[in-house]
Structure 1
Amino acid sequence: MSDQIELSGVNKYYGAYHALRNIDLTIRKGSFTALVGPSGCGKSTLLRSLAGLESISTGTLAIAGQVMNTVPPRKRDIAMVFQSYALYPHMTVEENLTYSLRIRGTPKAEAKRAAAEVAATTGLSPLLGRYPRELSGGQRQRVAMSRAIIRNPKAFLFDEPLSNLDAALRVHMRKEIRALHDRLGATSVYVTHDQIEAMTMADHVVVMRAGVIEQQGRPLDLYDRPVNRFVAGFIGSPAMNFVPAIGGPDGRSLVLDLGERQTVALGYGVTPGAAMTAGLRPEHISIAAPGAGRLKVAVATVESTGSATYVTTATTPELVLVVNGRADLKVGDEIGLDFAPAQLHLFDTRTERRLEAIDDAA
């Protein structure tokens, strides 16, 4: 599978502000790549640079083997779907879809036929005669996507397209976008601050912070082996628990500081006396049988959603755990917690980089 989009050593400056820092990224033809990170991390700047709406300061941007650094947006053969639908209110759905074709001089019959084909693909056929004001939010977003599809571009760029939709519609639309991507065999680049969208929709996730790519790879690879504390805390919901820790004197245990120190056996090697941060995902913690458990804690809050119960412990720092179904707990209960040592993530306290078990590193 050939490379569709390549960025090499890309930097972007706004005056003294360094918005993108030495970006190296390859987006494979036909892949669905999500750019994810907190506000201000550079993901939208990167997307706009791909589209040509921003010029890069240094480095190389190539699309389908052609360097695009100075190529204007209209000649990049890329379609962009924005957070705002940007539909023409005085045009029908069909007229909105065919507008880009008509200004290129496409014959009216051919443009009409193309609109009908795209509308059939995106479920808009009954709506071609309506105006944007007569459509729901989800229907308007489908029109925006259809307007991009009709151009048959080399790649689709999505800039937080679901942010204006309610929660239920966002879930529905992300399924639609992914299904559409699969049907078209398109190359898609999708910007979002929502890591759940990134994890569920993308083949390849790029996590950004302060203009830097912190980690990229398959969604579950980022979940299972985050390279640093930032990625570990950003990927996963609820967020990973972080606890100050010290390598045990035997080199096979960990001393966790939860307001009071508790020692847990690991079964693998760590540096004795080394300061580190232990990370543990809420879904990897379970409530032990009475009198058992690796950790002894008190319950601070219990929140039940019916399908799951979220428990917060009265420790410093607090721990959050997720229990499937309902838990017979109340505030103040003393409980034991269990987890598999293999599911602990260890990070250097100073650099925040991932630490490998000594046994594994050997």
Structure 2
Amino acid sequence: MTTQIELSHIDKHYGVFHALKDVSLSIEKGSFVALVGPSGCGKSTLLRSIAGLETITSGTLKIAGETMTGVPPRKRDVAMVFQSYALYPHMTVEENLTYSLRLHGVNKAEARQKAAEVAATTGLSALLKRYPRELSGGQRQRVAMGRAIIRNPKAFLFDEPLSNLDAALRVHMRKEIRTLHDRLGATSVYVTHDQIEAMTMADHVVVMRDGVIEQQGSPLELYDHPISKFVAGFIGSPAMNFVPGTIGADSRSVNLEINGSLSLPLNRTLDTGRKVIVGLRPEHLVVADPGMATLRLPVAVVESTGSMTYVTTNTTPELTVVETRRMNIRAGDSVDLTIAPEHVHLFDPTTEQAI
């Protein structure tokens, strides 16, 4: 695969604040990469640095093999789609789409032809004569994407483009953006704080924390093998449960410090008495038949969505359990739980790194 965007040892300072710390990342041509993390982790700063909207303090940035140091945004041949759409309110959809082409001297006939092609691709053909105020949020976002597509750039940069949409429309637009990416054979870098967006849309997910890359890999690699408690808690919804624990006398079990001491079997051997943090994903905790359970815990809250049942235990710390069955459980009952040993994650309590 050809590397389309390459960042080597990127640092970014805002005065004394160190926003990006020795960030290195290779983005392959045609890939869809999601930058994800909590607010302030540096993901938008990294995206804006690729676009040239931020000047990096040190390091090297290359796009399609060309060094971008000192190159202004308009000459980087990348297209950015913003959260705010950034459409010109006094221009029609067609005029918004063709604006960048007209700036670069493309004649009106050719610009209109390209606008018609992009409109057909993005479902905007019937809206070309409308103004932004006459469009829904999803339609405006399509115009913003169409304006990026029409330039045929070397990379598409998305800065939380779906944050202003309602939940149902976000799900729909996720599919549309990914479908467009595949159809165009584009290289896309997508910033989001929503790990569900990252997991469902991207080929490669980069989890950032405090200006550094905490972990990167395919969505399922991060889900199955998080390298730290931070990644384990960030990837997955609902979030992973964390419980203090101690490795048992047999070296192949862990005693949970929850409602006294309850033991879980492990699929590996560790030093007896070692202190650990035990990670249990809600969807891996299974409501079992009495006598088959490993854990028996009191229930605080039961929430049913019809297709899913969410159970919260009345413990310290509390556990969240997700069941795909409808459960005849009420608050105040006790629930019997089990979990496969291969689904038990362990982390060092000091470093918070995976064991």
Q: Does 1:165 align with 2:165?
A: yes
Contact 2:13 2:20 in 1 (8 A): yes
| Number of the residue aligned with 1:49 | 49
Which residues in structure 2 correspond to 1:230-249 (within 5 Å)?
230-249=230-249
Which residues in structure 2 correspond to 1:149-188 (within 5 Å)?
149-188=149-188
| Number of the residue aligned with 1:23 | 23
**Post-superposition CA distance 1:68-92 (Å, at most 9, x none):** 1211101100000000011111111
**Post-superposition CA distance 1:190-218 (Å, at most 9, x none):** 00000000000000000001101000000
Secondary structure, counterpart of 1:237 in structure 2: coil
Give the C-alpha shift of residue 292 in structure 1: 2.9
| Number of the residue aligned with 2:277 | 277
CA distance in 2, matches of 1:117, 1:266: 57
CA distance in 1, matches of 2:127, 2:87: 14
| Number of the residue aligned with 2:261 | 261
* Cα gap change, 1:26 to 1:271, in 2 (>3 Å): same
Cα RMSD for the two superposed structures = 0.8
**Post-superposition CA distance 1:235-276 (Å, at most 9, x none):** 000000000011112211111111311122224212211111
Secondary structure, counterpart of 2:245 in structure 1: strand
Task: Give, as a single letter, the amino acid of the residue that structure 2 aligns with 1:350.
Answer: T
| Number of the residue aligned with 1:300 | 300
Task: Give, as a single letter, the amino acid of the residue that structure 2 aligns with 1:167.
Answer: A
| Number of the residue aligned with 2:74 | 74
Give the C-alpha shift of residue 332 in structure 1: 1.5
Task: Give, as a single letter, the amino acid of the residue that structure 2 aligns with 1:20.
Answer: L
Give the C-alpha shift of residue 113 in structure 1: 0.6
Contact 2:116 2:125 in 1 (8 A): yes
| Number of the residue aligned with 1:143 | 143
Which residues in structure 2 correspond to 1:1-362 (within 5 Å)?
1-355=1-355
CA distance in 2, matches of 1:281, 1:230: 14
CA distance in 2, matches of 1:260, 1:158: 48
Task: Give, as a single letter, the amino acid of the residue that structure 1 aligns with 2:58.
Answer: T
- Runs of at least 4 residues off by over 6 Å: none
Secondary structure, counterpart of 1:354 in structure 2: coil
Contact 2:118 2:146 in 1 (8 A): yes
CA distance in 2, matches of 1:77, 1:96: 18
Give the C-alpha shift of residue 335 in structure 1: 2.3
Task: Give, as a single letter, the amino acid of the residue that structure 2 aligns with 1:230.
Answer: F
Secondary structure, counterpart of 1:146 in structure 2: helix
**Post-superposition CA distance 1:9-49 (Å, at most 9, x none):** 00000000000011010000000000000000000000000
Task: Give, as a single letter, the amino acid of the residue that structure 2 aligns with 1:159.
Answer: D
CA distance in 1, matches of 2:64, 2:272: 52
CA distance in 2, matches of 1:120, 1:335: 54
CA distance in 2, matches of 1:296, 1:136: 50
Task: Give, as a single letter, the amino acid of the residue that structure 1 aligns with 2:101.
Answer: L
Give the C-alpha shift of residue 325 in structure 1: 2.9
Secondary structure, counterpart of 2:221 in structure 1: helix
Give the C-alpha shift of residue 291 in structure 1: 3.2
**Post-superposition CA distance 1:215-243 (Å, at most 9, x none):** 00000000000000000000000000000
CA distance in 1, matches of 2:4, 2:267: 45
CA distance in 2, matches of 1:292, 1:64: 57
Aligned residues: 355
Q: Greater CA deviation, 265-274 or 122-131? A: 265-274
Secondary structure, counterpart of 2:138 in structure 1: helix
CA distance in 1, matches of 2:177, 2:325: 31
Secondary structure, counterpart of 2:91 in structure 1: coil
Give the C-alpha shift of residue 331 in structure 1: 1.2
Task: Give, as a single letter, the amino acid of the residue that structure 2 aligns with 1:150.
Answer: I
Contact 2:266 2:344 in 1 (8 A): no
Unaligned runs of 5+ in 1: 356-362
Contact 2:78 2:156 in 1 (8 A): yes
Secondary structure, counterpart of 2:172 in structure 1: helix
Task: Give, as a single letter, the amino acid of the residue that structure 1 aligns with 2:173.
Answer: M
CA distance in 2, matches of 1:234, 1:192: 12
Q: Greater CA deviation, 222-231 or 251-260? A: 251-260
